[in-house]
Structure 1
Amino acid sequence: MQLAGSEHSFGGSRERFIAKVFNHLGGAILAFTAVEVLIFSSGLSVAINQAMRALPWIAIMGAFILISWLASRAAHQVESLAAQYAALGVFIVAEAIIFVPLLTIANQVAPGAISNAGLITVFATLGLVGIAYVSRKDFSFLGSILKWGGLLALVTILCGAIFGFQLGMFFSIAMIGLAGGAILYDASNIIHHYPEDRYVGAALELFASVAMMFWYVLRLFLRR
């Protein structure tokens, strides 16, 4: 999650850039919700669940983290605006598909968990973004911590797949903490470092972190 770029002063253009990023983040969340509604209302969720049922649950978790990492890479490497929108669109659809089994289980065994997890994620995101914006502190030092934390999470998931142990409540709590750190780091980079022509890519990276928090908050509700 390393980002190149110099720190920017807070002028009118920077404020407009920040507003564009968060407008696109809101649009990405709405688009994700719309895709999920389409998948479930059209019956595609049944086919997706059948296709993914052969996979171990732990493999789905690993795929989720891998897709989030690829989104972060795309956010930093893609330059043209059209390519940034394409990467955001592909990521939203991929996330929507990955979420289908988890949302299906939540609908069946924990009514209300999805909306509660969504509200917690939104309020946590607003709080973390508010901390970054109001404090004006540069949280780029979190980058190395998040990198090693993400690697440790992947190794843990891989070991769980190999040795057959379950990743329980404490793993979900740790991943929520990691996602919270990622949101704070992303918001800080948006405020201080991101090039002003990368507002779609910046929204993509922040959306990936928000989606990760929602995933593990919802898992925590299901563990209860």
Structure 2
Amino acid sequence: MENTFQNKVLLIESTDQVRVDFYKKTYAHVAGGVLVFVLFEYLLLQSSMIVNFMMSMTQGWRWLIMLGGFMLVTNYAESTVLKTTDKNTQYLAYALYIFAQALIFVPLLYIAIYYTDGSELVQQAAIVTLALFAGISAVVFVTKKDFSFLKAGLTVGFFIAMGLIIAGSLFGFDLGLWFSVGMCVLAGGSILYQTSNLVNKYGTEDYIPASLGLFASLMLLFWYVLRIFMSRD
């Protein structure tokens, strides 16, 4: 997610205190996004109508329609938080994106909770995801390297992944464990890239766009870590 604001004060050109405050705001908003996601997910899973509908959308072309809708919401949210400086509009776009994430997670979490080891498996996957997220993010802050060079590789990787997902949905084959492992690697690269942008590319008031980018990468990682955990059963 590239920042398009013009005539802004870049974080990298600011004082240490400004940067620290920015990091605190950004990660507080990521944590807030996770809490809102959990709340949305809890409410959605209480509705049998929503659960049944989302489960019905997991097969073949229906899942492709769901993914297409999710991608449209993602593009809208990302473009909105980058093109406006109005914080209320940015928060609304962020909330919309979190809701879209919660909705698309309904089938996976429903299966994980009710057909495998229950909430314990989800908790284990969440702990592993947060540990990986923290560790990968720390690499950027410790090394202070610019990982923007990853953009081209990530773009190619995600296009290949989407092609495999489309083929799997249309022709009914399971992508398997190694696909999930590969997607975890891509998600890790995305976290490196987004965290690098956090340090090197954003302006001092861009903490909501930065939060959305990090939250998106975190959710992608959680999705495939959870799938790996579920594959053990």
2:56 maps to which residue? 54
Amino acid at match of 1:50: N
* Cross-structure match for 1:206: 214
Q: Which runs of 5+ in 2 are unaligned?
A: none
Offset of residue 149 of structure 1: 1.1
Shift of 1:74: 4.1
Higher relative contact order (CA 8 A, sep 6+): 1
Other-structure match for 2:106? 100
Q: How many residues align?
A: 221
Is the 8 Å Cα contact of residues 64 and 98 (structure 1) preserved in structure 2? no
Question: 2:228 matched to 1:223?
Answer: no
AA partner of residue 12 (structure 2): H
Deviation at 1:52, TM superposition (A): 2.0
Q: What is residue 140 of structure 1 aligned with on the other side? A: 148
Quickly say closer, same or farther: Cα 1:172–1:57, change in 2 above 3 A.
farther
1:59-81 alpha-carbon deviations (Å, 9 max, x no partner): 26835872555544444334321
* Alignment map for 1:31-70 (pairs within 5 Å): 31-40=36-45, 43-44=46-47, 46-57=48-59, 59=63, 62-63=67-68, 66=71, 67-68=73-74
Conserved in 1, the CA contact under 8 Å of 2:77 and 2:96?
no
| 1:4 positional shift | 5.2
Whole-Å separation in 1 of the counterparts to 2:43 and 2:55: 20
CA displacement, residues 183-220 of structure 1 (integer Å, 9 cap, x when unaligned) = 11101100111112111111011101100100111111
Take 1:22 and 1:92, find their aligned partners in 2: how far apart are those partners?
A: 15
Tell me the amino acid that sits aligned with residue 111 of structure 2: I
Deviation per residue, 1:11-63 (Å, 9 max, x gap)? 221221121101111111111112222333xx21x211211233234626835
Unpaired segments of 5 or more residues in structure 1? none
User: Identity over aligned residues, as a percent?
Assistant: 34
The answer to whether the aligner puts 1:110 opposite 2:131 as a matched pair is: no
Distance in 2 of aligned mates of 1:123 and 1:178: 16
TM-score by length of 2: 0.86
The residue type equivalent to 2:31 in the other structure is G
Match of 2:90 in 1: 84
2:12 to 8, 12, 21: 8
* TM-score normalised by structure 1 residue count: 0.89
1:64–1:95 CA contact under 8 A, matched in 2? no
Q: Shift of residue 110 of structure 1?
A: 2.3
Deviations 1:99-135 (A, max 9, x none): 1111110012222210011000100011011111111
User: Which of residues 144, 162, 174 is equivalent to 1:154?
Assistant: 162
Q: What root-mean-square deviation, in Å, do the aligned CA atoms of Structure 1 and Structure 2 show?
A: 2.2
